[in-house]
Amino acid sequence: MAILVTGGLGYIGSHTVVELLNNNFEVVIVDDLSNSEKFILKNIEEITGKKPAFYPFDLKRKELLTQVFDAYSIEGCINFAAYKAVGESQEKPIDYYENNLFSLINILQEFKTRGLSNFIFSSSCTVYGQADEMPIDENTPLKMPESVYGKTKQMGEEILIDFAKAYNRKVSLLRYFNPIGAHPSSKLGELPIGVPNNLVPYVMQTAAGIREKLSVWGNDYPTVDGTAVRDYIYVVDLAKAHVAALKRLLSNQSEESTIDIYNLGTGTGSSVLEVVKAFETANNVEVPYKICDRREGDITVAYANANKAEKELNWKSETSLEEALRTTWEWQKYLNSRNN
């Protein structure tokens, strides 16, 4: 019995593959390497001493996907494969809808016809938009996200809910807050293509001298220091939540449909400047920054109430912001050593 992990060489996917292998799951990775690199597979093997099956193709190629389902006894899927750049999604909406939704539907067609269940979907706290109250729990009303990227996440959730209900299958929708950090081995981490959009990769590259200065997008928000607040969750903790969610689905014997929904965050909000300071303290480096205007589309504050995940998955975030940011810096050093 194997778990299909799409996008398994990507940032969260690769960390989750390691946790699955450490928990003795057989893993089959499909990843088209559009936002990942082949050396990550070798590094997964070095970390775990195990060799997951790997197929480099685009999930829109349905005939290749069918061959994978023919070749393995798949008992579940964790679907990470998706485009994820918020800004780019506004410029290339059709590419985002095509990639993120067609790939999902192709997998679900296989699941439907083969009677398979246990599907875990990478969702995002973006489905809540700017929530009226903090912290955000799973009953917080959803708002149609502003970005096309966010819309593909909300549509993906709807598709899975309909799939579960119509065919009595089990699905888990995991709403990530802001994932950060790298594997403690320094062999896995986020590989930003070009100029990073996200805060922590930009901080990392600024500290490394690749970028001159971090632009802090706005210091006039009604927050502790005027900069926007997010819930930064350590990627290894996040990866472990996937294993817990999968085990819960697998042990659920119900013949009825199951739709598990979890917010995955730390429960604590940190401002942009708090993240900068924590990075500097954790790594004893300087992060030059300048204050700029707000970034369009940004919300003021988002942090999770992750009590449901703690109660039902027996999972909670264990790693401090500083520790997560220490692993980020170690990862940058590893990337530097690869480039030299």
Chain contacts with ligand UFG (rule: CB under 6 A): 84, 86, 124-126, 150, 178, 197-199, 202, 214-217, 228, 230, 272, 295, 298, 302
Please identify which residue in the block is written with the tokens 């439907």: 112
Three-class DSSP category at 293: coil
Which residue type, as a one-letter code, is found at position 34?
A: S
Q: Min. distance of Cβ 86 from ligand UFG in angstroms?
A: 6
ω before 145 within 30° of 0 (cis)? no
Q: Which residue, 173 or 199, has its beta carbon nearer to ligand UFG?
A: 199
Q: Min. distance of Cβ 161 from ligand UFG in angstroms?
A: 20
Q: Decide: 273 and 228 in contact? Cβ < 8 Å.
A: no
CA gap 132, 128 in Å, rounded: 9
Confirm whether 128 is a catalytic residue.
no
Q: Which residue, 124 or 186, has its beta carbon nearer to ligand UFG?
A: 124
Collect all residues with Cβ–Cβ distance below 8 Å to 198 and sequence separation of at least 6.
178, 190, 192
Q: Which residue, 27 or 272, has its beta carbon nearer to ligand UFG?
A: 272
Please identify which residue in the block is written with the tokens 């940004």: 298
CA gap 23, 331 in Å, rounded: 24
Three-class DSSP category at 78: strand
Between vectors from CA 336 to CA 332 and to CA 340, what angle results, nearest 5°? 170
Q: Which residue, 74 or 261, has its beta carbon nearer to ligand UFG?
A: 261
Which residue type, as a one-letter code, is found at position 144?
A: M
One of 11, 149, 176, 202 is an active-site residue; which one? 149
Q: Min. distance of Cβ 98 from ligand UFG in angstroms?
A: 19
Dihedral of CA atoms 38, 183, 107, 1 in degrees, nearest 10, equals 100
Q: Min. distance of Cβ 186 from ligand UFG in angstroms?
A: 21
Tell me the residue number closest to ligand UFG, measured at CB.
228
Q: Which residue, 21 or 241, has its beta carbon nearer to ligand UFG?
A: 241
What the block records as the tokens of 280 is 């500097």
Q: Min. distance of Cβ 182 from ligand UFG in angstroms?
A: 15
Q: What is the DSSP letter of 41?
A: H
- Which residues does the annotation mark as catalytic? 149
